[in-house]
Amino acid sequence: MAKIRVAVVGASGYTGVELMRILALHPGVELTIVTSRQHTGQPVAGLFPSLREIVGLEFSDNDLDEVAKKADLVFTALPHKAAIEVVAALHAAGKKVVDLSADYRFSDRALYEEWYQPHSRPEVLAKAVYGLPELFRNEIVEAGIVGNPGCYPTSVILPLAPILKLGLVDPGNRIIIDAKSGTSGAGRGLSTGSLYCEVNESFKPYKAGQHRHQPEMVEQLGRVGGRRPDILFVPHLLPVNRGILSSIYVSLNRDAESELVADALQTAYADEPFVRLLPQGELPALSAVRGSNYCDIAYVLTGKRQLILFSAIDNLVKGAAGQAVQNMNLMCGLPETSGLATVALAP
Amino acid sequence: MAKIRVAVVGASGYTGVELMRILALHPGVELTIVTSRQHTGQPVAGLFPSLREIVGLEFSDNDLDEVAKKADLVFTALPHKAAIEVVAALHAAGKKVVDLSADYRFSDRALYEEWYQPHSRPEVLAKAVYGLPELFRNEIVEAGIVGNPGCYPTSVILPLAPILKLGLVDPGNRIIIDAKSGTSGAGRGLSTGSLYCEVNESFKPYKAGQHRHQPEMVEQLGRVGGRRPDILFVPHLLPVNRGILSSIYVSLNRDAESELVADALQTAYADEPFVRLLPQGELPALSAVRGSNYCDIAYVLTGKRQLILFSAIDNLVKGAAGQAVQNMNLMCGLPETSGLATVALAP
Amino acid sequence: MAKIRVAVVGASGYTGVELMRILALHPGVELTIVTSRQHTGQPVAGLFPSLREIVGLEFSDNDLDEVAKKADLVFTALPHKAAIEVVAALHAAGKKVVDLSADYRFSDRALYEEWYQPHSRPEVLAKAVYGLPELFRNEIVEAGIVGNPGCYPTSVILPLAPILKLGLVDPGNRIIIDAKSGTSGAGRGLSTGSLYCEVNESFKPYKAGQHRHQPEMVEQLGRVGGRRPDILFVPHLLPVNRGILSSIYVSLNRDAESELVADALQTAYADEPFVRLLPQGELPALSAVRGSNYCDIAYVLTGKRQLILFSAIDNLVKGAAGQAVQNMNLMCGLPETSGLATVALAP
Amino acid sequence: MAKIRVAVVGASGYTGVELMRILALHPGVELTIVTSRQHTGQPVAGLFPSLREIVGLEFSDNDLDEVAKKADLVFTALPHKAAIEVVAALHAAGKKVVDLSADYRFSDRALYEEWYQPHSRPEVLAKAVYGLPELFRNEIVEAGIVGNPGCYPTSVILPLAPILKLGLVDPGNRIIIDAKSGTSGAGRGLSTGSLYCEVNESFKPYKAGQHRHQPEMVEQLGRVGGRRPDILFVPHLLPVNRGILSSIYVSLNRDAESELVADALQTAYADEPFVRLLPQGELPALSAVRGSNYCDIAYVLTGKRQLILFSAIDNLVKGAAGQAVQNMNLMCGLPETSGLATVALAP
């Protein structure tokens, strides 16, 4: 079978290098062009020495005609807002697109515009599909544009969805999500808060209740559960490169037996290749997923209708590039796990 | 004024070295004897090179007669259970004691025995005072034995107490405490889980809803608020040496204005030397308290009666050795801040 | 082609988990049995959650008959001394063995015994081959027992060998090797020096001029260069999980042009799949090799006959498990890069 | 005694915050003004939360008249080149100055200009004194301008000076200095190479043989030893916030007994308050000096005339702000250890 030709537009960030890491070893694709306005003409291996002798390309300018000529499917890894027109143009050129920004994640345009900015391509947005394969696989298979989920939402929606779907959650009580992300989630851009000496040996919350990933979770969980849940999302910055661990506090609406929760998760994920349900008594750790496409999930029922869900992902893999490749596999008729069967690097 | 002679019993752990670090520079005390059964006869500076040319002592055996002879006040930094008899004996010998184990923290003996083990000295326990100066200063001043608070409880009780005291918390809703501690909290003992390669680049929850610091919080907050609150406490292990950051989720019982919360905290802590209330819009970070005796507190009101309290301490200072010295200062009539006026090491 | 059945004896350390990580994805092998005396009967995924749903085995006891029955090739990842008899027995049973201890690395038995202990199987030792494929590929292909190189020696021999081979080094001057290793090099055993809080935010030298890897380097470089070089080897402990960076200071015996050094390295390694020679002006970094089987090499000529060689490897991959699999590939007639074509995890 | 009024010009970097940390607790000084062009008008505690309730100042503009009016002694913590005129102006205004840039460290103007840029104030440079108190205390006491030593040179000159002074070093052999610095040494400026994800879990050499601190070492060691030594200096970037560990390889010019080296170091430093000579068999570690003004020194003699010197300092304290305060103490007639008697924060 001919390899699928793929491109990465905006490849000089951490999502970009991670996409290239995965795509370089993917048996079904050929990486034909990667772009970066800032690094045009520079060898990829000059910027990312980990890719030396693996990716032989130079960064190209963001010339979309050239991209469209060379690729069948394009990953757009641009900042939100910048992606709106780029995705629309590539779609118009007949390309499949997996967009890693927030620009094509929302079905509810008003919600997007409330938290981001006006969306200049609502007709294109209307065609995009939310790319969480475990929940929306059938739609993704048919999609021309996939809005790749945010890293935090991936870590939150996967454990919560089966519980909400079954109506186990007390709608009168807020769901508290205390999430902790590694620093690569802040990107490769220059900011004092991302300096080594600022992050190392520290830890802190940020944007409590005000993070843009909160409405994304609400919208998608609303689709799953029939009504938009009341969520409070509080992210924190962890001194690690990779990983998100979310601790999710849920009040159940009845004295749910442990079996009910276990069943909900089992039914949803027992056959999923990238979701691992931990045995009772074990809790997830970032080290068990680092570099892999897994989402590890565990739960604790403390009695008194209190459920705690824990999830762990690698924010750059299942939270970004790995999930994007999983979506590509689905969109292109490749085996869903192709290129993604890696084991976490531990220690 | 003659210096107070102090001892540290069980000085070879992280709490021990931190006590010695602080006491060595304290203008009002003389460190006369430090004990360690395991390291008897070894120079302190051999085990702890940071103390070279600062602490010239060798570790002595745990000979309590010798300790009692050489010290007016004793810090006991033994594991819980081991401290019960040691503290009782030193108390019987007329010594003031600050105990850093859990053995003298509980007024409610039954609660202690439910979570720890039988307490063989209930009559001594009855005399002990809980050593959180910001709440119980007057009792500490008079005390012969102080049970030094746990690290997590310190980080939780300080922000919550003023809110509970004012009756702002909806008693029908559970208080969720998502706490994250640096690895020194696990002590200097050998355990696979404390190895560098296990902790570094990872993050994980542990003992969700089952940590022994939970009943300690409940008891003390019950004293403050008039009734024991419904608390869920979930600790996590952070890849940093020092620091606890607690994120505390509280449902208020009415539409509390922001001013009400601010007033409660201001009234409680405006004059406290070791509590810093952050200005609106700022959130605490471990780096701002590392090595200092401060507890930094901030809050966010998200509307819908949802309050989030954040606190940051250094678990070895305000969460252990620093608070112990603060208690000693009070017990001995020294200025409360003596020896503790340090600035966090940042970066 | 039938898969080669492989075993790992002594699989509960960091080398063990790394071998399993690589072997689990290796297309040409089947992992049939892994042993650990301490963890016998425990699921591998219980000890190493990163291997959940990947390695379904339980740890077996170290029953060599069972191992011999189930495997064609055995990786022995035992402490030195313990490996001597185990390797001999497996060899006697007709198994191919890759030994990751020091017990079969030395041709010079006396040198081994000077630095380790008496070798009770000299006749077996005499058959073993030093498993550095880039230098001794032909011998490895024929070998029944391969002594897998030490992590430090791998990082030192690869850059130095071509220079010594060409006689560029002034024999009157000592070669200074200042090496820095991540903490996984110290193993998964319990020791205060390996605790998170002892290693994190620190850095220190150890065993200066006294490390057992020094004679290993000397012997192998002596084979390459015709005479044993005068080497001073000083290791340091780095606060990272993985990686060795060696800085090697060499006095050349004439005013070697830069081209001469470049040519020596190019000739030796231009076609090697796991050695990358960096372009002039770039220096290696651990992040570029983390999790991969690469050895990155660069050099600086400062004039005045002073050469500095730098190398970077992942100590658990090219320095241990990856190189062991590379040796297995050669011994079993598999493509040398099989199972090893991974890209470093960066960031 | 009236407190000395001090200023920090250019206080928004890591050296600035460290100076403020130390000066805030110094009993003999009053910090009256701190400047930052970029942060003019902003509260110091807004930029540096560790200083909340400790430093109540706002950053002032770099108005030198204002500085001169408010301070008796000024610390200039500007980038090199920028400091030239500022120091000259403050000196002309009759102020004592401790300059933390490189601009006033060199006696040999030509050497400075070879590695930096033209020096527009040679007549002021001629008056400046190199501020390494252990070697040049008498000059510092009399100085109006002190060029505060570089961090690497401090860590290198202290261990080497006594050895060179005694003529123990073989002048025909190059001294190899393999130094490793924490990331705060790179400053608080924005650069991709200083991002958390670039530094964490990595390690790398940089500017091998080309770092500007090399000529500084050469000049000062030349003063001490009578001739400029042949030095090769290779720095590396460590994933820690603070600390420099230098490993120094020296060929002795005769079979120096261990006692000779020990005597040289003892004679030089036995009475020095901030130099600790470790007992034989112990090697320095960054954790033992973190946050303190100590330089820990050890040596190993491997026989064959090979000496290895190791030193550890905190680059922000003994390598910058602490040494600057030590110089201030000498210049102002304060006890040399005033404000500097801190213990390393370990763990």
pLDDT tens per residue across span A139-180 = 999 999 999 999 999 999 999 999 999 999 988 889 999 999
Q: For residue A221, is pLDDT > 80?
A: yes
Residue D333 lies in a domain: no
**Same domain flag for D64 and D106:** yes
CB contact under 8 A, A195 and D188: yes
**Same domain flag for D175 and D260:** yes
Residue B15 lies in a domain: yes
* Mean pLDDT calculated for residue range B307-321: 98
CATH of the domain at A31: 3.40.50.720
Cβ-Cβ contacts under 8 Å, D312 against chain C: 204
Task: Tell me the average pLDDT of chain B.
Answer: 97
Could you tell me the CA-to-CA distances from A60 to A53, A100, A237 in Å, in that order?
18, 19, 33
Could you tell me the CA-to-CA distances from D264 to D160, D268, D305 in Å, in that order?
10, 6, 16
First to last CA, chain D: 37
How remote is the C-alpha of D30 from its chain's centroid? 22
pLDDT band of residue B283 (cuts 50, 70, 90) is very high
Catalytic residue among D151, D197, D295, D332: D151
Tens of pLDDT, residues B157-173: 999 999 999 999 988 88
How remote is the C-alpha of A258 from its chain's centroid? 29
pLDDT band of residue A116 (cuts 50, 70, 90) is very high
Cα(C116)–Cα(C101) distance, integer angstroms: 11
> What is the pLDDT, as a whole number, of residue B287?
98
**Same domain flag for C157 and C286:** yes
**Distance between D202 CA and the closest CA of chain C, angstroms:** 5
Tens of pLDDT, residues D41-96: 999 999 999 999 999 999 999 999 999 999 999 999 999 999 999 999 999 999 99
Model pTM score: 0.98
**Same domain flag for D185 and D270:** yes
Cβ-Cβ contacts under 8 Å, C190 against chain B: 190-192, 195
Count of C-beta atoms within a 10 Å radius of residue C59: 23
> What is the pLDDT, as a whole number, of residue A339?
97
Task: Tell me the average pLDDT of chain C.
Answer: 97
CB contact under 8 A, C50 and A344: yes
Tens of pLDDT, residues A275-305: 999 999 999 999 999 999 999 999 999 877 9
- A interface residues, B as partner, C-beta within 8 Å: 173-174, 176, 178, 180, 197-198, 200-206, 208-209, 230, 232, 234, 236, 238-243, 245, 247, 249, 251, 283-287, 290, 300, 302, 304, 306, 308, 310, 312, 347
Residue D325 lies in a domain: no
| Tokens linked to D68 | 């001169």
Would you state the torsion angle of the CA atoms of residues A218, A221, A222, A224, taken in this order, to the nearest 10 degrees? Answer: 170
- Report how many domains make up chain C: 2
Cα(C96)–Cα(C76) distance, integer angstroms: 11
CB contact under 8 A, C194 and B195: yes
**Distance between A158 CA and the closest CA of chain C, angstroms:** 18
Cβ-Cβ contacts under 8 Å, D205 against chain C: 245, 247, 283-284, 310
Residue B347 lies in a domain: no
| Best residue in C174, C180, C201 for a mutation probing chain D (most D CBs within 10 Å) | C201
Could you tell me the CA-to-CA distances from C114 to C106, C107, C109, C119 in Å, in that order?
11, 13, 9, 10
Q: For residue A61, is pLDDT > 90?
A: yes
Q: Decide if B294 contacts B341 (C-beta within 8 A).
A: no
| The residue type at A97 | V
**Same domain flag for A177 and A297:** yes
Cβ-Cβ contacts under 8 Å, C234 against chain D: 247, 308
Going by C-alpha positions, the residue among D345, D346, D269 that lies closest to residue D50 is D345
Cα(D218)–Cα(D153) distance, integer angstroms: 9
**Distance between D212 CA and the closest CA of chain B, angstroms:** 24
> What is the pLDDT, as a whole number, of residue B75?
98
Type and span of the H or E element at C258: helix C258-269
How remote is the C-alpha of B177 from its chain's centroid? 17
Cα(C283)–Cα(C280) distance, integer angstroms: 8
> What is the pLDDT, as a whole number, of residue D170?
86
CB contact under 8 A, D232 and C249: yes
| Helix, strand, coil percentages in chain C from 3-state DSSP, rounded to 5 | 35, 20, 40
Residue A93 lies in a domain: yes
pLDDT band of residue B257 (cuts 50, 70, 90) is confident
CB contact under 8 A, C346 and A292: no
> What is the pLDDT, as a whole number, of residue B243?
98
Q: For residue D256, is pLDDT > 80?
A: no
**Same domain flag for B169 and B278:** yes
> What is the pLDDT, as a whole number, of residue D116?
97
**Same domain flag for A110 and A190:** no
Helix (H, G, I), strand (E, B) or coil at B174: coil
Cβ-Cβ contacts under 8 Å, A14 against chain D: 197
Going by C-alpha positions, the residue among D262, D174, D185 that lies closest to residue D221 is D174
- Residues paired with residue D179 on neighbouring β-strands, in sequence order: D235, D246
Tens of pLDDT, residues C272-287: 999 999 999 999 999 9
Q: For residue C256, is pLDDT > 90?
A: no
Residue found by looking up tokens 């050296």 in the block: D15
Residue C331 lies in a domain: no
Cα(A18)–Cα(A336) distance, integer angstroms: 18
Task: Tell me the average pLDDT of chain A.
Answer: 97
Q: For residue D212, is pLDDT > 90?
A: yes
DSSP A321: I
Would you state the torsion angle of the CA atoms of residues D81, D82, D88, D93, taken in this order, to the nearest 10 degrees? Answer: -170
CB contact under 8 A, C188 and B195: yes
B49, B282, B342: residue with CB nearest D285: B49
* Mean pLDDT calculated for residue range C298-303: 92
Residue C202 lies in a domain: yes
Tens of pLDDT, residues D306-343: 999 999 999 999 999 999 999 999 999 999 999 999 89
- B interface residues, D as partner, C-beta within 8 Å: 14, 17, 21, 24-25, 46, 48-54, 184, 201, 241-242, 276, 278, 282, 284-285, 287-292, 296, 341-347
Cβ-Cβ contacts under 8 Å, D234 against chain C: 247, 308
Could you tell me the CA-to-CA distances from C87 to C69, C212, D201 in Å, in that order?
15, 21, 35
Cα(C161)–Cα(C149) distance, integer angstroms: 14
Residues contacting A304, CB < 8 A, separation 6+: B174, B230
Is B295 part of the annotated catalytic residue set? Answer: no
CB contact under 8 A, C195 and B192: no
CATH of the domain at D188: 3.30.360.10
CB contact under 8 A, D236 and C243: no
**Same domain flag for A122 and A156:** no
> What is the pLDDT, as a whole number, of residue B259?
85
Peptide bond preceding B279: is omega within 30 degrees of 0, i.e. cis?
A: no
Cβ-Cβ contacts under 8 Å, A206 against chain D: none
CB contact under 8 A, C241 and B196: yes
Q: For residue C85, is pLDDT > 90?
A: yes
Helix (H, G, I), strand (E, B) or coil at B311: strand
> What is the pLDDT, as a whole number, of residue B303?
78
Q: For residue C253, is pLDDT > 90?
A: no
Residue found by looking up tokens 């830890």 in the block: A203
Cα(A274)–Cα(A340) distance, integer angstroms: 9
Cα(B67)–Cα(B10) distance, integer angstroms: 11
Residue ranges making up the domain that contains B282: 152-315
**Same domain flag for D157 and D121:** no
Cα(A171)–Cα(A256) distance, integer angstroms: 15
Tens of pLDDT, residues C308-347: 999 999 999 999 999 999 999 999 999 999 999 989 999 9
pLDDT band of residue A256 (cuts 50, 70, 90) is confident
CB contact under 8 A, C54 and A343: yes
Cα(B151)–Cα(B161) distance, integer angstroms: 16
**What does chain A come to in residues?**
347
Ramachandran sector of residue A130 (left: φ over 0; alpha: ψ -120 to 50; beta: rest)? beta
> What is the pLDDT, as a whole number, of residue A254?
78
Count of C-beta atoms within a 10 Å radius of residue C46: 14
Could you tell me the CA-to-CA distances from A141 to A145, A324, A326, A329, D256 in Å, in that order?
10, 13, 11, 9, 77
Q: Decide if B160 contacts B221 (C-beta within 8 A).
A: yes
**Distance between A223 CA and the closest CA of chain B, angstroms:** 23
Cα(A303)–Cα(B34) distance, integer angstroms: 45
| Tokens linked to D262 | 């020990």
Residue A240 lies in a domain: yes
**Same domain flag for C38 and C91:** yes
Peptide bond preceding B347: is omega within 30 degrees of 0, i.e. cis?
A: yes
pLDDT band of residue C300 (cuts 50, 70, 90) is very high
**Distance between B278 CA and the closest CA of chain D, angstroms:** 9
* Mean pLDDT calculated for residue range C165-192: 95
Q: Decide if A224 contacts A165 (C-beta within 8 A).
A: yes
| Best residue in A39, A197, A286, A287 for a mutation probing chain D (most D CBs within 10 Å) | A197
**Same domain flag for B189 and B252:** yes
**Same domain flag for A212 and A256:** yes
Q: For residue D196, is pLDDT > 90?
A: yes
**Distance between B235 CA and the closest CA of chain A, angstroms:** 10
* Mean pLDDT calculated for residue range D260-277: 97
Task: Tell me the average pLDDT of chain D.
Answer: 97
> What is the pLDDT, as a whole number, of residue A175?
97
